Every structure is written in C-alpha cells, then in structure tokens.
Amino acid sequence: MKMQRPFLCVLTALAVLFTLAVLPEVEAKPIQLTYSIFFPATHAQCQAGVEWAQEVEKRSNGQVQITVYPGGTLTQANQCYDGVVNGISDIGMSVFAYTRGRFPVMEAVDLPLGYPDGLTATRTVNAFYEKFRPAELSDVKVLYLHAHGPGLLHTRTPVKSLEDLKAMKIRSTGLSAKVVEALGAVPVAMPQGATYESLQKGVVEGTFGPIEVLKGWRQAEVIKATTDCYAVGYTTAMFVVMNPQKWAQLPPDVQEVMTAVSREWVDVHGKSWDSADAAGREFTLSLGNAIIPLEEAESARWTQAVAPIIAEYAASADQKGLKGTESVSELQRLIGEFSGQK
C-alpha cells in the first residue's frame, strides 16, 4: 500500500494540472454585444444587418454573440448615434440626417447629385469617408456606411411639373428638406416610421425617398403616384458604428473579423438597396399606382432649381474650413467612377 501512494500522488497532481489547463477554455464565455437598428425587422436593410452579425459570430468561431434590437426598440432612430457613444448599445445603425447639423461633412453625401442606384451611392459614401475621415465621427468606431438609391417623389396626387408640386407638404429629412423647399414645396421633417400614418391622414401630401420605401415601409398603400425625378436624385447616408471603448476591448482577431466582414457588407447593403428598389417599383405598380417620368425640359427645370443647394453647401462648408468645394467635386468624381460598376 505504501508503494502505491507516490503513484496516486502523481495521478492526483496530473489531474489538477489538467483541470487548471482546461478550465479557462471551459469557462470562457462569448463576448456579448448589442446592436440597435432603426429599421423594422422585416426591412431588407435590417435583415442585412442581422446577417452581418451572424457572419461575425460565425467567423469569430462564436467568440462574439450579437443581439440585434430592430425597429428602434433599444434606441430610437434619432438617438441611435448618441446611444452608441454613451454605451446604451454597443453597435448602432441609423441615419446621419436624423440629427441635422451634427455631421456637416457627411451632409455633402446627401446632396442632389444624381445618384443612379444604391450600390453606387453606398460605394461612394464609404470611399468619401475613407478619403476625408471627418472629425465629427471621431467619437465612434465606424464599421461601414451605406446609402439608398435615388430619392424620388411619392405623392397622394400625381406630380408632373414644378407647378403641381408648389406648396405641397412633403415629408423629408436632412438636406432633402432643402430639395423640397427649392422645388417650391413645404418640407415636413419626420422619420420613416411616422410617414405612413402621416400620409394616410393627410398630414403630409407626399414624401421624398427611394422607391423601396413603397414596399419596405408599405407607403405604396397610402400614395397614388411616383415622380421619376432622377436628375435631382439624392441619397441618404446611414452609419453602422460601434462604441470605441467596446471596440478597444475586443481581441485583435475579433477586430480583424469585424473589419473584414464590414468591408464585404458595403456591397451587400448596396445591392440590397437596389433589389429593394426593384421590389418597391413592382409593388406600387401592382397596387395600380402611377410612375411618372419627367419630360426632358421639365427635368432640366428641376435640376436648375436645386443647383443653388449644392453651391450653397460648398460655399458654407468652405467658410467653416470643411473643404466643401473639394467634397462636392470628389463626390461627383466617385459617382462617375462607381456608376455602371456591378
């Protein structure tokens, strides 16, 4: 029996060492992150955000688990950015224009520069951010940005000319409000979530937005016509940002995964916007709504009407030292570069 004791002691010691070696792996728990998205759960852009989160979880081998809160349930659309800064959510997706004046450099992206589609707009906004890296976004970690296809006019009564649009109350956000005003209508600021009911009740007579809203937000049910005013096609830039302290706490390999997936998701969102636009067009036509192309001469009138907005932005930003003229020029160059690329 005495000869067995050393052997038992060795076995016991080995068992303890094995347990100590394995225990950290057993007890390691996934990093839990929260993700606030203002889009409703059924919207294609929310679904793209959910798929991004799932891909990050997959490629990190489960080191990260991301809980998505759609429909503004964690932070409302206009509170999403500050919610990320203040740690209410770790990640957030919303719209720059919902807090007017907060992002003066990024406002340039929303100008009515004639964006042809969502993929072009999304690639443009990311390239623009990478070039200028505006200080206004220094309080977050920017994961990626995206932007919808050309903003068009959707109304309760058909609009074929500037005269038809005069004095109409039109829902708009950010710089699109200036577009509405330049075209002779009355801008009414409100987020997409409030637009359906406002159109239904006649609080507003129309809305500016990508044609995808007609299905994504079911606004085709409460309008009668869309004016194809591509010449003044603007976009609305959106952010996917993360709390910088939370980002700094992530292991380097997880940061690399998030960076790689985010880079890929630029085109995922851009193509999703274009697919949603196609679906919105089909949906509104299925309800018997009209799509009205502007005649060439009328389109030129609309372009001329909004030209001062672009010039005014450039001059104002230049005076503030924000490279307004350079920003507009770069955006026009990027739109030309990315147009037609698929």
pLDDT computed for residue 269 by the predictor? 98
Predicted TM-score of the model (pTM) = 0.84
The mean pLDDT value of the chain amounts to 92
Which position has the higher pLDDT, 15 or 218?
A: 218
pLDDT computed for residue 193 by the predictor? 83
Residue 338 three-state SS? helix
Average pLDDT over residues 124-139: 98
Write the secondary structure of 72-114 as one string of H (helix), E (strand) and C (coil): CCCCCHHHHHHHHHCCCCCEEEEEHHHCCCCCCCHHHHHCCCC
The percentage of residues in the chain with a pLDDT greater than 70, rounded to a whole number, is: 92
| Cβ count within 10 A of residue 252 | 7
Q: Residue 136: is its pLDDT beyond 90? A: yes
Average pLDDT over residues 35-51: 94
Strand order of the β-sheet with 91-95 is 64-69, 31-37, 91-95, 237-242, 141-147
CA quadruple 220, 224, 229, 235: dihedral positive or negative? negative
Helix (H) or strand (E) holding 63: none
Span 13-38, pLDDT tens digits: 555 455 444 444 445 799 999 999 99
Asked if residues 128 and 332 have their Cβ atoms less than 8 Å apart, the reply is no
Average pLDDT over residues 107-135: 96
Span 148-202, pLDDT tens digits: 999 999 999 999 999 999 999 999 977 788 999 999 999 999 888 899 999 999 9
Residue 61 three-state SS? coil
Residue 242 three-state SS? strand
pLDDT computed for residue 208 by the predictor? 93
pLDDT computed for residue 4 by the predictor? 53
pLDDT computed for residue 2 by the predictor? 47
Span 299-339, pLDDT tens digits: 999 999 999 999 999 999 999 999 999 999 999 999 999 99
Q: Residue 232: is its pLDDT beyond 60? A: yes
pLDDT computed for residue 5 by the predictor? 54
Which position has the higher pLDDT, 122 or 9?
A: 122
pLDDT computed for residue 319 by the predictor? 98
pLDDT computed for residue 16 by the predictor? 47
